[in-house]
Structure 1
Amino acid sequence: MGYDALLWLSFGGPEGPDEVMPFLENVTRGRGVPRERLLEVSGHYQHFGGVSPINGLNRDAIAAVEKQLATAGIELPVHFGNRNWAPMVEDTLAEMTANGVQRALVFPTSAYAGYSACRQYDEDIERARAAVGANAPDLVKLRQFFDHPLFVGAIADAVRAAHAKLGDLPGTRTVFCAHSVPSSADRAAGPPEEGGHRYSRQIAEAARLVAAEAGIETYDVVWQSRSGPPQVPWLEPDIVDHIGALHADGVTSVVVCPVGFVSDHLEVIWDLDNEAAERAGELGMGFARAATPDTDPRFAELVVELIREHLEDVPARKLSPFPSAGCTLNGAPCAIGCCEPAKRPTR
């Protein structure tokens, strides 16, 4: 069966100061996040004029994919929808339905497993189809791609470029970084016999693949952007704490690679370009941050290759033995019990 369109499904972000708090309220609705925390995070957005870079980066990436599709002779219009802010996926799917789309592929802007990175996109699809009703098109979500050679190659080149910015100083430590999640959520990201689905294992594997491609023997995998209460265990160590530990061990410069992100989310430009870089500066350490891959031409090539897996039965290219998870139809999770949301502790 053919496909009529591609739905580019992302997280969303504010594009002006007045949108910041409504956006954060959307993101945290039902999670019991104190207003004080929302105001703190709001300050991070206001530091950049109340504008998250993510929507603009998505539009640029979509334009690059449209060019790649045209070059490949594939007629597949691309529609942009978000989970948390305009353009909302419900509105985009309603427009697609009105335009006669009956079956579409979905590209979620995350390479990994996990609740927010994978299963919540299934829920977004299910919610949008329910909002549209019986005439909603079938939606087939593309697979995870953390181990695709184009993804790995783009990040490896970004790491090399970051090392070059520091003058290829001997002893520079490479640190791979990803968004932290509660430890319980990480354990829920796949049954033990399918451990490749687990978010932290995929992050570690992507770091290993990138390091091997870049010729780096010694590296660390750390975490950033935790936001939960202190009594709830999250994946550690934190990037800022780790920079301090590296300094104590005599490391004089560091290259940080946000391997868990495909684009410059606000967490990247705040937590890394501001907080982590500031900590390194305080300690007199050299600091360089590797670019995210969505601005690399290979990222658009990757998206088109994932599409061709469905259109033309092109074999999936992978660099790891982990299962090709994440491909779903109409929001059905790819495995029962996989990537379930973490349960909040009872008081």
Structure 2
Amino acid sequence: MTGAQGPVPGATPAAADGAEHVEEAVAYDAILLASFGGPEGQDDVIPFLRNVTRGRGIPEERLEEVAHHYRAFGGVSPINDQNRELKAALEAELASRGIDLPVLWGNRNWAPYLADALREADDRGFTKLIAIGTSAYSSYSSCRQYREDYAMALDETGLAGVIAIDKVRQFFDHPGFVQPFIDGVNAGIAELGDTPKVHVLFATHSVPTDDAVRSGPRDRDFGEGGAYAAQHLAVAEVVMAGHPDVPWDLVYQSRSGPPSQPWLEPDINDRIEELAADGVTGLVIVPVGFISDHMEVKWDLDTEALDTAREHGMTAVRVPTPGVHAAFVSGLVDLVLERRDGVPTSERPALTSLGPWFDVCRPGCCENIRLGFKPALAGIAP
């Protein structure tokens, strides 16, 4: 087995040789909770959006268009408070199991930044971190970009070679992530009761088609939409197994690219209009692409999609995201323990045939062809 200078940059020695699944125990010092971040006041909104879009040449007028989503909620994104709640829930779950692993929290686009979390780790003498990115699926923005964030934060802080960072596997089909959606769909269908024609829409963030087809490892063919779409579809099938007679679709939301750039479709609002024309009267909207009720859920689903349904005379319910559901919090701790204890792959739970997903991302996984390959941890280069 090679050391930390092997094909996996910035990894612990157990992960450095690039095995798909690491079955060697690692004495991690702390958990790194990594998230997107969000503004916490009206004055933060435009600076935050500049952080999100830096390097993409987005004009200020476009930022102002998006800003009104945040301004409608007082300029405060719910995501930071949700991460505080998740951090506290993880700490409580760890304490209840007698596990001494501190939880550090850092964001990509707003304070506290990942670099702040790494400085805290260094101050406390932590050198081996296991990261949980707050996204369950494989794509550039939901996996590889977090791995790039870890590399940039180590570079910014000068802690490369001092702190090693591994990550838990993408957890789209872990029971702890899926169970809250099963509970939510069961409750949503029951709430619609005698509504004559019910349809379930599984909603996730759209991504550029070029990114989608490059999601996941390059040596596997996941079909149209790459691993990103395949993972969502597989999860939806599991969630709907208890309702074989209820029709459902995977739909997309929150696209932000220019009209000339293809993104995954159909858009949720377009699909709602089609379903209304087909006589559907009841909708269950499942935010399967999200772990908490952040802005894409509160605005794009709770505001725009529900408005579209009402305009077409439909009764619609939006089921909860996992948030701090007990099964989800417990599942995240289980994912950490997989790596801490070197749990054999055959003993790792996965509810679809796609999993359990890789501990160490494969070469070229989730490439963004517009930006090219940047240094990224927890995976084999490039």
Instruction: Find the partner of 1:318 among 340, 350, 358.
Output: 350
Instruction: Answer yes or no: is the 8 Å Cα contact 1:182–1:342 preserved in 2.
Output: no
Matched, 1:252 2:293: no
User: Residue 87 in 1 paired to residue 116 in 2?
Assistant: no
Q: Which residue of 2 aligns with 1:158?
A: 184
- Give the TM-score, by structure 1 length: 0.94
User: Does 1:241 find its partner at 2:270?
Assistant: yes
Q: Is the 8 A contact 2:198 2:247 kept in 1?
A: no
Judging changes above 3 Å, is the alpha-carbon distance between structure 1 residues 217 and 167 closer, same or farther for their aligned structure 2 residues?
Answer: closer
* 2:237 equivalent to 1:208: yes
Measured in 1, the distance between the counterparts of 2:46 and 2:195 equals: 42
Structure 1 residue 214: Cα displacement: 5.5
From 165, 168, 192, the counterpart of 1:139: 165
Residue 156 of structure 1 contacts residue 210 of structure 1 at CA under 8 Å; is this kept in 2?
yes
SS of the aligned residue for 2:323 comes to helix
Is this contact kept in 1: 2:218–2:363, CA < 8 A? no
Is 1:178 matched up with 2:204?
yes
Aligned amino acid, residue 169 of structure 1: T
**TM-score of the aligned structures, taking structure 2 as reference length:** 0.85
Are residues 275 and 10 of structure 1, via their aligned partners in 2, closer, same or farther at CA, if it must alter by over 3 Å? same
Q: Note the C-alpha offset of 1:94.
A: 0.9
Q: Is the 8 A contact 1:240 1:276 kept in 2?
A: yes
| Counterpart contact for 2:197–2:279, Cα < 8 Å | no
Q: 1:18 aligns with which of 39, 43, 48?
A: 43
Opposite residue 186 of structure 1, the aligned amino acid is A
Structure 2 contact 200–286 (Cα < 8 Å) conserved: yes
CA distances 1:21-79 after superposition (whole Å, capped 9, x unpaired): 00000000011222222101100000000010111111111111111111111100001
Aligned equivalents of 1:2, 1:44: Cα separation in 2: 43
Q: Give the CA deviation at 1:216.
A: 5.8
Measured on the aligned residues, the alpha-carbon RMSD in Å equals 1.6
Q: Which runs of 5+ in 2 are unaligned?
A: 1-25, 372-382
Distance 2:245 2:122 in 1: 48
Task: Give ranges in structure 1 of 5+ residues lacking alignment.
Answer: 329-333
Supply the distance in 2 between the matched residues of 1:317 and 1:48 (Cα, whole angstroms).
38
Identity %: 48
* Aligned match of 1:30: 55
Match of 2:255, SS? Answer: coil
Kindly indicate whether residue 359 of structure 2 is the aligned counterpart of residue 327 of structure 1.
Answer: yes
Counterparts of 2:121 and 2:194 in 1: how far apart (Å)?
49
Using a 3 Å threshold, how does the CA distance of structure 1 residues 233 and 150 change in structure 2: closer, same or farther?
same
Per-residue deviation, 1:167: 2.8
Q: Which residue of 1 aligns with 2:253?
A: 224
Give the Å deviation of 1:294: 1.7
- Matched AA of 2:43: D
Cα shift readout 1:248-272 (whole Å, capped 9, x = no counterpart): 0110111100100011120111011
Figure out how many residues of one structure are paired with residues of the other and give that number.
339
Residue aligned with 2:55, SS: coil
CA contact (8 A) 1:141 1:326 kept: no
SS in 2 for 1:199: helix
More helix, by proportion: 1
Q: In the alignment, what sits opposite 2:367?
A: 340
Mapping 1:6-155, distance limit 5 Å:
6-134=31-159, 136-155=162-181
Shift of 1:313: 2.8
2:132 partner SS: strand
Residue in structure 2 matching 1:279, options 293, 308, 312: 308
Q: Deviations over 1:173-216 (max 9, x none)?
A: 00001000010110111345424571111111111111115556
Q: Decide whether aligned partners of structure 1 residues 31 and 325 sit closer, same or farther in structure 2, where only a CA change above 3 A counts.
A: farther
1:240 to 1:36, Cα distance in 2 relative to 1, 3 A: same
Q: Matched residues in 1 for 2:96 and 2:355: separation?
A: 30
One-letter amino acid matched to 1:148: H
Name the CA shift for 1:124/1:165 in 2 (closer, same or farther; >3 Å): same
State the alpha-carbon separation in 2 of the partners of residues 50 and 165 from structure 1.
32
Alpha-carbon distance in 1 for matches of 2:48, 2:70: 11
Aligned residue identity for 2:352: S
Deviation at 1:171, TM superposition (A): 2.0
Q: Give secondary structure in 1 for the equivalent of 2:367.
A: coil
- In structure 2, the residue matched to 1:331 is none
Cα displacement string for residues 279-330 of structure 1 (whole angstroms, at most 9, x for unaligned residues): 11111110110100123111110111001101223332101121443534xx
Q: Evaluate the alpha carbon distance shift between residue 142 and residue 191 of structure 1 in structure 2; reply closer, same or farther with a 3 A threshold.
A: closer
